[in-house]
Structure formats: structure tokens, C-alpha cells
Amino acid sequence: MSVPPDQSRDPILWNSAIALAFLVLCLVRIGVPSEAYFDEVHYLPAARAVLDLDWATNIEHPPLAKQLIALGIALFGDNPFGWRIMSVLFGTLALFATMRGMWFASQTRAASLLTGLFVATNFLLFVHARIAMLDVFMVGFLMLALWMCAGAVRENETARWRLAIAGLALGAAMASKWNAIPLAVLPGLTFLAARLYAGRRRPVRSVRGWPVGGMSLWEAAIWLGVVPLLVYAATFWPFLFWQVHSGQPEGLVDLHRTMLAMQTQVPEPHPYQSQWWDWVINSRAIWYLYEPIDGAQRGIMLIGNPSTMWFGLFALAWCAWAGWKQRRSDCIALVVLYVASLALWVVAPKAVQFYFHYFLAGMALSAALALAVERLWQRGERMVPLAICLGAVGFFAFWYPILTAAPLGDDQDFLMWAWTGGWR
């Protein structure tokens, strides 16, 4: 008798432990600084506007993420913990969902756990899980949607409820920040392309074939097309009560014209602005905070983990090769996610861009590195995978004080982490 193939066990307990450890690390000094910093100065007034339903503020962005920040304030008070706790929870959700999505995409424990390691320590997720900004809500919802889509493809019998959740999450992601749109349309377009490519006689009604057997194209269109749009529209409920400062838009169409105009206006140059190629090579940092506050000199720096962001580029190139030569769908998916996330900022008519716009692409890059490291280990390599993993953890530990506003010695301590002119 032949030996049955080895089946990886679901690493959900390990996934949960990694997510819990991440949450605990996020909560360290979550109340520091005790004042609003960086873009919190825009989003906290917008969240308070949700609570008083008087005047709308920050209408250039959709409203859901600001409603979630407002929920934290309503539950825990108008204080630093209340401002940031929802970001912590959604950052933890993003990490857990990314690991679960990788499990369903690859069916290997190693890939799932390595994804948790590289995503948790890539700096982008951690910093945004500790600040009341919009990006972490968008990423949390998107990762949830991708997890559900991967699960639906792997376990077709669960596809209906998974795609229903995915549709809700895709709508919520777009309603948190428009950056989600290029990725939010991918599941529906993938389903459409797969069924058309199959060349069946009745592609709209047929329930046979990839990506989800037993589900027709028209039903998938409801879950992945109609539901997201309905959820997105529903999140604009505060505008039924708000008075709007700028333009007095009436109805969703006019409101979106105003939002688009505000997004594409040309603001004053910013000292931390950068271009997409700066993000790819990890050459331009943002100091979210660097000043004496709460009794000490403190700083919060946003840059990518050097080990993850630089080795991740080689990993992404390998994923492109493996996807093409070996038809690995997990590798193809990560390359598509990375390219779609980055392509938005190559063509977007937004005059001033920042490194945090690389957030989504950085998540895909971190997951690609997990697949590449796993493959190296399978081939018998030991030194390179260990060096990359230890490098990611080591850099995270070294940067931790400047990721969490720890007390510093003096105003020149930033030089310990600002290795290049672009990181200053």
C-alpha cells in the first residue's frame, strides 16, 4: 500500500496566538502621545462629528472608518485609548485574516505562520494599528474579504456564506478609504473571467467550474458586486443629518463629485511627500511624531522593515516566475494584489503622495516573502531563510522604541534609526 500524502494541520491556534501577541504589543503605550498627532488632527474631529451629527468634516474621504473611530470614542471616552482602540482591533483583524487567507491559498502551515511573522513585523501594519487614521480599517476589511474568498475557493460547500461576508467586507473597505477600490473589484472580475474563459454555453447560469463549483455567475455578481455597493452606500447615513461645509452636495452623486474634486486638488508641497518608486526601494520615511511630549523626547517613524521590504522584492519576482512556470495560484494572486495596489498610485491624479499609500502593496509583499522563504526551506536551504526571519524580528525589536513613542535620550536620538537622508 502507498503511504498517504502528508496533510498539514490547520494552524488556527498558532494564528490566534500570533494575533494576540501582536495586539498586546500594540497596546504598549497606546495612550502616548496623549495629544492628537499626524493625521489624527483631521480624523478625530471627523469622528466627533459622527457623534454630534451637526457639521460634516473631512468629507474628501468616505465615512465608515471615521464612524468606527467614533465608536471607540463612544465606548471608551474621548481620550487617547478611545481614539486608537478600534485601530488596534482592526490591525489585529488584518493580521489574523492575512494568515487565514494564506492558509486557504497555500494549504501549508509554514506559509501561514511565516505570513504572520512578516506582516506583524513589517512596521506598516503595526504603526497604523496604533493611530487613529483610516488606512488600517481599509486594510482590515480587505484582508477579511480576501480570506473569505480564498476559503470559498478551497471549500466550495462554504462558498455562499463566505462570499456574503466578503461582499460586506469589500463594501466596508471602499467605505473606509477609496484606496481599496482596485483590490475590491478583483474577486468579482476574477470570477467573471474564469467563467468566460471556461467557454460554457450558458456562462451566466452555469454552476460548474472554477473558482467556485456550485455557484452561478449571477449569484457571485450579487455577493461580490451588488452587496459591496449597497454596503458602501449605506455608510453615508450621517449625511442625512449633517450640514456640509463645502459645496452643499445633495445626493450621493453630487457628494462624490465634491469628494473627487477634493482628492485631486493640488495642495501645498509636503516635506514627507514621495513617489511610488521611493516606496518600492524603501527610501522615504515619514516621522509621524518627533517632539518633546508627555515628559520626554519621543518619536514615531513610518518606514518598512528593511529585511522584509528589500528581500520581499526578490520574493515577489520569484512569485511571478512560480506563478507563470508552475501555475501556482497563490503566487499569482499575490503578484496581482501587489501590482494592482501599486498601479493605483502610478496613475492616480493625486499631486502629493506618501509612503503610507504603500500599505496594501506592503502586505502583499510580506506574504510573498513568506512563500519564498517556505520554498527555500523545502529545498534544503537553511541559512538564508533563517537570516531573513531573524532579520525581520531583529529589525522590529530594534525599531520598537521608535514605533511606540518610547522615551528617548535627546533630540538627536533619531539618528540611531535615520540611516539615510530619505529616512530623516
pLDDT digits (tens, 9 = 90+) for 184-241: 999 999 999 998 887 777 778 888 888 999 999 999 999 999 999 999 999 999 998 8
1 or 188: which leads in pLDDT:
188
Task: Return the closest-CA partner of residue 303 out of 322, 278, 325, 320.
Answer: 278
H/E element holding 385?
helix 383-403
The residues facing 97 across adjacent strands are: none
Length of the chain: 424
Task: Return the closest-CA partner of residue 328 out of 285, 374, 286, 363.
Answer: 374
User: Which tens digit of pLDDT belongs to each residue from 78-93?
Assistant: 999 999 999 999 999 9
Instruction: For residue 350, name the pLDDT band (cuts at 50, 70, 90).
Output: confident
The whole-number pLDDT of residue 5 equals 47
The whole-number pLDDT of residue 249 equals 61
The whole-number pLDDT of residue 3 equals 46
Helix 306-325 / helix 359-378 crossing angle, nearest 10 deg: 70
The whole-number pLDDT of residue 354 equals 94
The whole-number pLDDT of residue 105 equals 97
Are 298 and 406 in contact, with CB atoms under 8 Å apart? yes
User: Which tens digit of pLDDT belongs to each residue from 141-172?
Assistant: 999 999 999 999 999 999 999 999 999 999 99
User: Which tens digit of pLDDT belongs to each residue from 278-301?
Assistant: 999 999 999 999 999 999 999 999
Rounded Cα gap, residues 231 and 10, in angstroms: 32
Q: How much is the mean pLDDT over the chain?
A: 94
Three-point CA angle 296, 298, 301, nearest 5°: 180
pTM of the full structure: 0.96
Encode burial over 144-166: b for 16+ CB neighbours within 10 A, e otherwise.
Answer: bbbbbbbbbbbebeebeebbbbb
The residues facing 408 across adjacent strands are: 297
The whole-number pLDDT of residue 261 equals 87
Instruction: For residue 4, name the pLDDT band (cuts at 50, 70, 90).
Output: very low
- What is each CA distance from 214 to 158, 200, 204, 217, 371, in whole angstroms? 10, 14, 12, 10, 30
Are 359 and 126 in contact, with CB atoms under 8 Å apart? no
Helix 109-120 / helix 359-378 crossing angle, nearest 10 deg: 140
pLDDT surpasses 80 at 394:
yes
Are 355 and 286 in contact, with CB atoms under 8 Å apart? yes
The whole-number pLDDT of residue 268 equals 78
When mean pLDDT is compared across 17-26, 48-57, 291-300, 384-393, the lowest value belongs to: 48-57
Task: Return the closest-CA partner of residue 69 out of 148, 128, 123.
Answer: 128
Instruction: For residue 330, name the pLDDT band (cuts at 50, 70, 90).
Output: very high
Classify burial at 379, counting beta carbons within 10 Å of its beta carbon; exposed 0-12, middle 13-18, buried 19 or more: exposed
Cell reading at 29: 503605550
Encode burial over 337-353: b for 16+ CB neighbours within 10 A, e otherwise.
Answer: bbbbbbebbeebeeeeb
Cell reading at 132: 487613529
Rounded Cα gap, residues 330 and 335, in angstroms: 9
When mean pLDDT is compared across 116-125, 164-173, 260-269, the lowest value belongs to: 260-269
DSSP state of 410: S
The whole-number pLDDT of residue 244 equals 78
Between the two ends of the chain, the Cα-to-Cα distance in Å is 64
Are 131 and 173 in contact, with CB atoms under 8 Å apart? no
Rounded Cα gap, residues 369 and 367, in angstroms: 5
Rounded Cα gap, residues 32 and 243, in angstroms: 33
The whole-number pLDDT of residue 1 equals 47
Are 330 and 249 in contact, with CB atoms under 8 Å apart? no
The whole-number pLDDT of residue 245 equals 65
The whole-number pLDDT of residue 64 equals 98
